[in-house]
Amino acid sequence: MNNNNENLDLEDELFEHFRFEVPKGQALLRIDKYLMNLIQNATRNKIQNAATEGNIFVNDIPVKSNYKVKPFDVVTVMLSHPPFENHILPEDLPLNIVYEDDALLLINKEPGMVVHPGHGNYTGTLVNALAHHFDNLPMNSSERPGLVHRIDKDTSGLLVVAKTEAAMTHLAKQFEAKTSEREYIALVWGNVAEEEGTIEGNLARHLKDRMQMAVFADPEIGKPAITHYKVLERFGYVTLISCRLETGRTHQIRAHMKHIGHPLFNDERYGGHLILKNYVYKIQTVIENCFKALPRQALHAKTLGFVHPNTGEMMRFDTELPQDFQDCIEKWRNYGKTHNMEDEEK
């Protein structure tokens, strides 16, 4: 009898798959439309069915699909099965390990690899590869083995992975205290006016496009984010820059550069894949060739520095730009050798 009751309890149990806190500036919006903007590959029909089945909650109370969310609501989607991302399938995927010891390892992530499983990406991720190559990696606060930080799918470059609980705690504190060194190389649209500068602005989900982050002037919205940038090379239509992160928010460089009018080259989510109207008739071919050479956002995590959790030694790692990034830059250089871009911009 007890076993049967336990089985019934398990069948009736709901597992949290998504949780969102509605930001301060959100206008009233039907919850099915709100969730469509947040959950990748979700359809309105699926969301409405979930609401009909009592699987969508606002402030712990089940709601129908016509409920209108308001600022500070806490929305959760509960389903009858555990989230797939918590079931990590070990996969024999190649890892470019640039350094390893008993406490940690450094990985130079290839573009196109998702860092951890999530909605729509349950296999083929860096975490799936780590689960195959390493046993008993410590879990971070999100139950993801070894991860201290992450970079976006189409961003290439360096990641540090903790191999022990002590290393995880030590490294996480450095990232939180802003003592780690993180430098990115980015190619951005336009001729950046200043040789160097700092972008400050709280980042939170864009109010209309929930797949983007945006800068908010209201200090009560989002989290503080600071990016220091420096021009490395100018190509007239685009600029190669170095970005040093003081904070590490989601899409920080991508959102900050768009905010100052210089979205990352070929960054589809932030509009950097569009050929700027003023350039269409002048350099359409060169832009399209550069898009083919670099079919992703032009962002690479080049440098990573931190204090080793065991030895106390300051360690600094550096990587070369991947070949697709180098090919794109070379195309811009070659164009500049045969064209006077200053005259073209007039």
Instruction: Identify which has the larger pLDDT, 337 or 52.
Output: 52
Average pLDDT over residues 174-186: 95
pLDDT at position 5: 34
Confidence of residue 10 (pLDDT cuts 50, 70, 90): very low
- The residue ranking higher by pLDDT, 338 or 324, is 324
pLDDT digits (tens, 9 = 90+) for 201-216: 999 988 888 788 999 9
Q: Which residues are catalytic?
A: 152
List pLDDT tens digits, range 100-116.
999 999 999 999 999 98
pLDDT at 154: 96
Checking DSSP bridges between strand 226-234 and strand 74-79, what pairing results, if any? Answer: unpaired
Residue 10's CB is within 10 A of a number of other CB atoms, namely 9
